[in-house]
A = this chain, B = another copy of it.
Amino acid sequence: MADLAKIEEIRRFNRHYANILGKIDQEIYHKPYPLSEARVLAELYGKTGITATEIREKLGIDRGYMSRIIQKFEDDKLIAKKQAPSDKRQHLLHLTGSGEKVHLALVDEANKEVAKMIDSLTPHQLDQLTSAMHTVEKLLTHEEPQALSVLIRPFQPGELGYVSYLHGRLYNKAYGFSELFEYYVMKGLSEFLMDRQGGELWIAEVDGEIAGSIAIARVDGHTAQLRWFVLDDRFQGQGIGKSLMNTALAFCQAQNYRHIFLWTVHILEAARHLYSKYGFECTEQKPNAEWTDQELIEERWDLELVLH
């Protein structure tokens, strides 16, 4: 059960949005046709030879009501019927010229109403709005059951900066790491940028957002160091770390590295657990007093790769 505060928030949004929609409807649709009828008209637009039942099923309208809507539209000369050749019970419907005109006028009204709603927004805000709407729509249409689309790919221009941002922010927020740590990360990354022979850095991208990273750096012909393994806290615990690790280790295999090691600190429990699951073993410990107030213990973990 998702937590109640979120649900209340969503309900608040629902109420709010119902209001907005209500206002729009009122302004537009009370004009000549009620909403359901306008929707039937919209459904007919651009198609020819659709049947009443097809529309009914799509819009969820009662049979009797539908029949009367069709009659009314016929009386108003908005649509024309033709008996279906294949089934004499059905009629193929299509809009007449004035039906199209009426539909377009309704659409136009609706557009004007929406335009009024957004006319004070800057282009950037408009982008924000539509992208937020897409997010809502995508999340609430669980046609794609829920699988995050996680993409692991080599880094692109500028993204090393983002990796250092992730490190600096996360470790400061969670453990109070100092600027010295941030410096150490940035310096390492900028050196890596200039010399990454035999190494690579991957970005985990989730729905276009950067969620985390991992890197392999060459030490010597047989030895690689695993570095810059980080995951935005919002994306933790969803198997993305594992995907990153798999990518990095597969790369090591392909490059024929035999030994892989990494440096971490003892307080990173989740990471240590993952390392040991992949067969890494802690081989060295040393104190570090620079990065944070509490005494840290840096640890070196090693993994021997078996040849395939």
- A11 CB contacts on chain B under 8 angstroms: 110-111, 114
Q: Closest approach, in angstroms, between the C-beta of A289 and any C-beta of chain B?
A: 17
With contacts A7-B111, A124-B235, A160-B186 taken as known, whether A21 is within 8 angstroms of B21 at the C-beta atoms is yes
Contact A139 B128 (CB under 8 A): yes
Task: Report how far A193 CA is from B235 CA in the complex, Å.
Answer: 28
- What are 12 of the A-B contact pairs (CB < 8 Å)? A4-B111, A7-B118, A13-B136, A17-B136, A120-B145, A124-B234, A125-B146, A157-B182, A158-B164, A159-B165, A161-B161, A161-B166
- A1 CB contacts on chain B under 8 angstroms: 115, 119
Q: Is A162 an interface residue (CB 8 A)?
A: yes
Task: Report how far A128 CA is from B139 CA in the complex, Å.
Answer: 9
Residues of chain A in range 134-178 having any CB-CB distance to chain B below 8 Å: 134-137, 139-142, 145-146, 148, 156-170, 172-173, 177
Q: Closest approach, in angstroms, between the C-beta of A153 and any C-beta of chain B?
A: 15
- A169 CB contacts on chain B under 8 angstroms: 156-159
Task: Report how far A67 CA is from B24 CA in the complex, Å.
Answer: 26
Fill in one digit per residue for A2-39: 1 if any B CB lies within 8 Å of its CB, else 0.
10101111110110111011001000000000000000
Q: Which residue of B lies closest to A234 (CB)?
A: B124
Contact B136 A120 (CB under 8 A): no
- A157 CB contacts on chain B under 8 angstroms: 168-169, 172-173, 177, 179, 182
Contact A136 B132 (CB under 8 A): yes
Residues of chain A in range 100-125 having any CB-CB distance to chain B below 8 Å: 110-111, 114-115, 117-122, 124-125
Q: Closest approach, in angstroms, between the C-beta of A67 and any C-beta of chain B?
A: 22
Contact residues on A (Cβ < 8 Å of other chain), bracket: 35 or more
Fill in one digit per residue for A193-209: 1 if any B CB lies within 8 Å of its CB, else 0.
11000000000000000
- A9 CB contacts on chain B under 8 angstroms: 130, 133
Contact B164 A193 (CB under 8 A): no
Q: Which of A7, A125, A137 has the most CB of B within 10 A?
A: A7
Task: Report how far A14 CA is from B29 CA in the complex, Å.
Answer: 14
- A110 CB contacts on chain B under 8 angstroms: 11
Contact A132 B132 (CB under 8 A): yes
Contact B10 A21 (CB under 8 A): no
- A179 CB contacts on chain B under 8 angstroms: 157, 193-194
- A140 CB contacts on chain B under 8 angstroms: 20, 117-118, 129
- A170 CB contacts on chain B under 8 angstroms: 158
Contact B160 A164 (CB under 8 A): yes
Q: Is A187 an interface residue (CB 8 A)?
A: yes
Q: Is A226 an interface residue (CB 8 A)?
A: no
Task: Report how far A126 CA is from B7 CA in the complex, Å.
Answer: 10
Q: Is A127 an interface residue (CB 8 A)?
A: yes
Q: Is A183 an interface residue (CB 8 A)?
A: yes
